[in-house]
Amino acid sequence: ERRPSGQVCHRFWQPGGGYDRNLWTVGRIHEKIHYVHANPVRRGLVERPDHWPWSSCRAWMYEGDEPLRLDTDSLPPLEK
């Protein structure tokens, strides 16, 4: 991409606003976690979030550590 000054720059993130969010409250953190877990369901890939094999949903729902270990100590408890 070339800036108006003529300088060439390379973006790491998408141009424009609205792609990042500050998560200031426990409720917002959990809202975004649920949103990410629901992505495969919205795309029609699975019927339930915990059926997606690469999701951390099962670790949240069943307090396990599959498929990856979650550092849940650094996050507030999940509101069910």
35 assigned to some structural domain:
yes
- Count up the domains in the chain and report the number: 1
pLDDT digits (tens, 9 = 90+) for 18-52: 666 777 888 888 888 899 999 999 999 999 999 98
50 assigned to some structural domain:
yes
32 assigned to some structural domain:
yes
Smallest Cα–Cα separation from 36: which of 46, 48, 49? 49
Task: Name the 3-class secondary structure at 2.
Answer: strand
How many percent of the chain have pLDDT more than 70? 66
42 assigned to some structural domain:
yes
Mean of pLDDT over the chain: 79
Structural domain range at position 39: 26-69
79 assigned to some structural domain:
no
Tokens of 66: 């599959």
First-residue to last-residue Cα distance in the chain: 45
- The pLDDT score that the predictor gives to residue 43 is 95
47 assigned to some structural domain:
yes
- The pLDDT score that the predictor gives to residue 57 is 87
